[in-house]
Amino acid sequence: MTYVPPIRDINFVLDHVADVDDLLTRPPFTDVDRETLDFMIEEVGRFMAEVIAPTNVDGDKIGATWSVGDDGYGRVTVPESFTSAYKQFVASGFGAVPFDPEFGGGGFPWIAAIAIQELMTSANMAFALCPLLTQGAIDAIHHHGTDDQKALYLPKMLTGEWTGTMNLTEPHAGSDVGALTSKAEPVGDGSFKISGQKIFITFGEHEMAENIIHLVLARTPGSPPGTKGISMFLVPKYLANEDGSPGQRNDVSCVSIEHKLGIHGSPTCVLAFGENDGAIGWPLGDEGAGMRNMFTMMNNARLSVGLQGLALTERAYQQALGYAQERVQGTAVGAEKGAKSPIIDHANVRRMLMTQRSWIDAMRCLLYENAAALDRTVGGGDDAEAQQEWADLLIPLSKGLCTDVVNEMTSLAIQIHGGMGFVEETGVAQYYRDARIAAIYEGTNGIQAADLVGRKLPMRGGAVVLEKLDAAAALAAELTGVAPLGDFGPRLTEATAAARRATEWLLEHGMTNPNNALAGSTPYLRMLGVVICGSLLGTLAKATLDADDDADFLAAKQASARFFGEQILPTVGALEAQVTAGADLLFALSAEQLA
Amino acid sequence: MKVVVCVKQIPDPADPGALDPETKTLKRDMKLILDESDSYGVEMALQLVDAAGEGEVTLVSMAPNNERSGLSTALAMGAASATLVSDPALQGSDSLTTAKVLAAAIKDQSPDLVIAGSESSDGYTGTVPEQIAGVLDLPSVTAAKSITVDGSSIKVQRQTDAGHDDVECPMPCVVSVTAGVVEPRYPSFKGIMAAKSKPVDEKTAADLGFDADAVGWAGAGQEIVDVAEAPQREAGEIVEDDGEAYTRIVGFLEELKII
């Protein structure tokens, strides 16, 4: 199935929601001009559609395979089409766009990287995970590395010639990273011998790149238990020679890869460090600061996973739409008697398509606004603190909401295909399977909900959330009575009021009994996420009223926003009851009684 | 080695354009992209200059509204500069006028080689490269699938129905390139960043020495008298295989003179 990059939709959100023109007047982005940004996004779209998208089915059908190499280390082979596409990706240089020009980067704002990632992930999510993890490792080295480490690793990682991994999880340390037991013993020359086993390491082994830089969390001798005793180490697959080229093989072996529901093209590795003569690693950042330092990249990583929700919804929608236009079944209301209608003419199919389309617009607003807020914190402008609060509030919504929604939307894409959707040959099932992981990794959506009520809602005693709800209410009043938007304004007013009541309930009852807040946290994330999406779509819809653009395009944006207002915003009414029910009923049955 | 590549900027074929009922020509007032059939010429030119180890690729294009989006793509691929001829007076130019205008823009540059696509993907007249050669009084080679430089001449493999002809031609000359014969590179991030500072020389018809009434609708030696919808494809014939259907297939292929 071909992929058509939604360049125009991305541009519209960049213009009217994220306000990129404003962003580019702020340091350090003043050297980036809008025309070049637009041109780049367009060329990236073409590259992803023509070079990366055709490899998506290979990733699923052939997948990554494991074997033992001649050197005795575990070997991972990805589909041949991945290797050649990756080579072209390196040649493109698109991996370097948002990074420091000192190391070969483009110095573009993060939102540019988000646009690239959206296009790449829609094209092939499994493939896109490799550059995504590399990006996280680049960020970590850039923030916490010594000058020598930066000079040695960053230039090669920015081009993608070397890739990066993040090694946190161990068999007994998943969401509770503090439980990890991997060890780092000092050798005496500044380096450490790393030993232990890490699981769920994305692209932990492959041969697309000439070196892999593993960032590993481990404990030094005598370190305190829990997260305070964790340090971060840089462990390359091949140790660098004097001239920086990859030399001796380090003692890191991929001992197996997982057999997964989806993203088959992305090898999920079990890595064994130091099983033979010891894996050499160097500290990255201060001893004991590993966990805190890993969290510097967390906002970006969670935003990127949220983006996978949008990207797969977009791809699945494109395929479902194509099918609905071609598949002829039954006679639609209003069709000539006896004539067979394409299923797109049936109201129920339309409902599914409109729901997908409307969520695509909503998610794109949320994610790109989140990226823009992160970018606005960088230059330290007057509003940097407010932007940081906004970005921090948006992160659990971007990650949690978009990755929940993608499960529903890729499921609808299968539904639109009917029985053929359940058959693998159609290809639409792959998006559903690939999407499923996004709600789990990078902090499960339960963790996101806990983060929302436990850390984000309490910011300034709840004022950050309440101020945003006030702004949404003001926008709702402004859009009430605006004819092309139907009942968007009144529905946003009601939804905002419901979210305010739920927020106030949590602020009051969550403080006395944290389990009350946690019990309602998942429906609250959905509720606040839907309302914030509604308000951002309100901003988008407002812009359509006087934007200088193609009339059909603007009308489609209005219809999509209106659908969200009239059909999706009202669902928050039901969520209010869930949020404010408290924890008692969840624990009414004992663990034994649940058996 | 100096190579000029003629590139056309056309409406995005993925976003089907409409005909202007007044002029019976394609509406071209939107953003235009590099014609894919020209991207092969750009790639071939870049490879030739790479192989020569010196020289540069420059572009010439004629487009409405000073449109340069398609030129940007070719510049980001690696061309050094471009000449863009844009003038309301040129609207409605036929292929011969187009060739004269492009020839005038090329002439000043004294290239060793001029490369063009065999035909554009929006107009399909397929005559402009040869007309340019005629106007400039240069030899012309058509339907090239590969070009190699050999001293002061080029060796061309010229696509034919049966295979290819080997052709030699002295430089300077004009060569039209068959679509799909090379893999056009994608612009890299570095190429995209470099493209914005590459010179694009904008010229009007008058700059190139043309009177307004000698070009465009006024100067066209042809007129589009009518346009009609393409006929619907007719339903195919279904042959039930009773064990002898192959004879029908053989007969059908013979009828088409394929076998």
Domain ranges of chain B: 2-219
What value does the mean pLDDT take over residues A397-402? Answer: 98
Give B-chain residues touching A50 at CB under 8 angstroms: 186
How far apart are the C-alpha atoms of A190 and A406, rounded to whole Å?
46
Q: Point out the domain boundary residue: A288, A308, A329.
A: A288
Tell me what ipTM this predicted complex has: 0.93
Nearest CA in chain B to A101: B190
In a domain, A475, yes or no: yes
Nearest CA in chain A to B75: A39
Using CA atoms of A272, A276, A282, A284 in order, give the dihedral in degrees to the nearest 10.
10
**A97 and B189: CB-CB below 8 Å?**
yes
Residues 8-67 of A with CB under 8 A from B: 33, 35-36, 39-40, 43, 46-47, 50-51
**A39 and B192: CB-CB below 8 Å?**
yes
Q: Which of A170, A205, A442, A576 is catalytic?
A: A442
**B196 and A88: CB-CB below 8 Å?**
no
What is the pLDDT confidence band of residue A289, given thresholds at 50, 70 and 90?
Answer: very high
- When divided into structural domains, chain A yields a total of 2
Nearest CA in chain A to B30: A550
CATH code for position A221: 2.40.110.20
What percent of chain B is predicted at pLDDT more than 70? Answer: 100
In a domain, A106, yes or no: no
| Helices B69-77 and A34-47: angle between axes, nearest 10 degrees | 70
**B186 and A4: CB-CB below 8 Å?**
no
Nearest CA in chain B to A98: B189
Query: Which residues on neighbouring strands pair with residue A231, listed in sequence order?
Result: A218
**B189 and A4: CB-CB below 8 Å?**
no
**Model pLDDT for residues A291-331, shown as the tens digit of each residue:** 999 888 889 999 999 999 999 999 999 999 999 999 999 99
Q: Where are the alpha helices (DSSP H) in A93-235?
A: 110-123, 125-144, 147-159
How far apart are the C-alpha atoms of B240 and A73, rounded to whole Å?
58
The position carrying tokens 């040129």 is B90
Q: Which residues fall within 8 angstroms of residue A132, CB to CB, at 6 or more apart?
A: A117, A304
What value does the mean pLDDT take over residues B2-10? Answer: 97
Amino acid at A297: M
**B189 and A33: CB-CB below 8 Å?**
no
Nearest CA in chain A to B68: A39
**Model pLDDT for residues B120-148, shown as the tens digit of each residue:** 988 888 999 999 999 999 999 999 999 99
Query: Which residues on neighbouring strands pair with residue B32, listed in sequence order?
Result: B11
Residue to mutate among B12, B189, B198, B200, with most A CBs inside 10 A, is B189
Provide the pLDDT for residue B77: 98
- What sign for the dihedral angle of Cα A253, A257, A263, A265? positive
Provide the pLDDT for residue B236: 81
**A106 and B189: CB-CB below 8 Å?**
yes
**B186 and A33: CB-CB below 8 Å?**
no
In a domain, A593, yes or no: no
Structure tokens, A383: 């509003």
**B76 and A97: CB-CB below 8 Å?**
no
What value does the mean pLDDT take over residues A519-537? Answer: 98
Q: Contact, B117 vs B8, CB < 8 A? A: yes
pTM of this structure: 0.94
How far apart are the C-alpha atoms of A428 and B114, rounded to whole Å?
47
What value does the mean pLDDT take over residues A448-461? Answer: 97
What is the pLDDT confidence band of residue A63, given thresholds at 50, 70 and 90?
Answer: very high
**B186 and A50: CB-CB below 8 Å?**
yes
Buried b (16+ CB within 10 A) or exposed e, A157-193: bbbbebbbbbbbbbeebeeebeebebbbeeeeeebbb
**B187 and A43: CB-CB below 8 Å?**
yes
Q: Please check whether residue A91 touches B, CB under 8 A.
A: yes
Would you call A258 a catalytic residue per the annotation? no
* pLDDT for B15 beyond 80: no
Q: Please check whether residue A172 touches B, CB under 8 A.
A: no
Provide the pLDDT for residue A237: 98
Amino acid at A546: D
In a domain, A37, yes or no: no
**Model pLDDT for residues A206-240, shown as the tens digit of each residue:** 999 999 999 999 999 999 999 999 999 999 999 99
* pLDDT for B224 beyond 90: no
- Min Cα distance A91 → chain B (Å) is 7
Q: Point out the domain boundary residue: A288, A317, A348.
A: A288
Q: What does pLDDT average to over chain A?
A: 96
In a domain, A240, yes or no: yes
Q: How many CB pairs under 8 A join A and B?
A: 37
Half-sphere exposure (Cβ direction) of A486: Cα atoms closer than 13 Å: 14
> Among B72, B186, B190, whose Cβ lies nearest the Cβ of A47?
B186
- Min Cα distance A445 → chain B (Å) is 35
Provide the pLDDT for residue A277: 85
Provide the pLDDT for residue B31: 87
DSSP, residue by residue, A234-295:
EEESEEE-TTSSEEEEPSEEEEEE---SS-TTS-EEEEEESSSS-EEEEE-SSTT-HHHHHH
Q: Please check whether residue A529 touches B, CB under 8 A.
A: no
Q: Where are the alpha helices (DSSP H) in A379-427?
A: 384-396, 402-416, 419-422
Provide the pLDDT for residue B25: 85
Provide the pLDDT for residue A295: 84
The position carrying tokens 């008298």 is B225
**A549/A194: higher pLDDT:** A194
Provide the pLDDT for residue A39: 96
* pLDDT for A136 beyond 80: yes
The parent domain of residue A538 ranges over 444-584
Provide the pLDDT for residue A211: 98
**Model pLDDT for residues A148-161, shown as the tens digit of each residue:** 999 999 999 999 99
**Model pLDDT for residues A309-320, shown as the tens digit of each residue:** 999 999 999 999
- What sign for the dihedral angle of Cα A512, A518, A523, A527? positive
Nearest CA in chain A to B34: A43
What is the pLDDT confidence band of residue A285, given thresholds at 50, 70 and 90?
Answer: very high
What percent of chain A is predicted at pLDDT more than 70? Answer: 100
Give B-chain residues touching A155 at CB under 8 angstroms: none
CATH 3.40.640.10 at B2-219, yes or no: no
Q: Please check whether residue B72 touches A, CB under 8 A.
A: yes
Residue to mutate among B186, B190, B196, B198, with most A CBs inside 10 A, is B186
In a domain, A113, yes or no: no
Nearest CA in chain A to B73: A43
Provide the pLDDT for residue A588: 95
Give B-chain residues touching A88 at CB under 8 angstroms: 186
Question: Which SS3 state, helix, strand or coil, does residue A548 take?
Answer: coil
Question: Which SS3 state, helix, strand or coil, does residue B59 take?
Answer: strand
Query: Which residues on neighbouring strands pair with residue B173, listed in sequence order?
Result: B113
**A464/B239: higher pLDDT:** A464
Q: For residue B50, what are the CA distances in angstroms to A251, B3, B37, B190, B191?
A: 42, 11, 21, 17, 16
Q: Point out the domain boundary residue: A270, A288, A306.
A: A288
What is the pLDDT confidence band of residue B183, given thresholds at 50, 70 and 90?
Answer: very high
* pLDDT for B16 beyond 80: no
**Model pLDDT for residues A336-362, shown as the tens digit of each residue:** 998 999 999 999 999 999 999 999 999
In a domain, A491, yes or no: yes
How far apart are the C-alpha atoms of A209 and A162, rounded to whole Å?
5
> Among B69, B188, B193, whose Cβ lies nearest the Cβ of A92?
B188
3-state secondary structure labels for all residues of A170-207: ECCECCCHHHCCCEEEECCCCCEEEEEEEEEEECCCCC
Provide the pLDDT for residue B234: 81
What value does the mean pLDDT take over residues A459-470? Answer: 98
What value does the mean pLDDT take over residues B231-248? Answer: 84
The position carrying tokens 């390139």 is B177
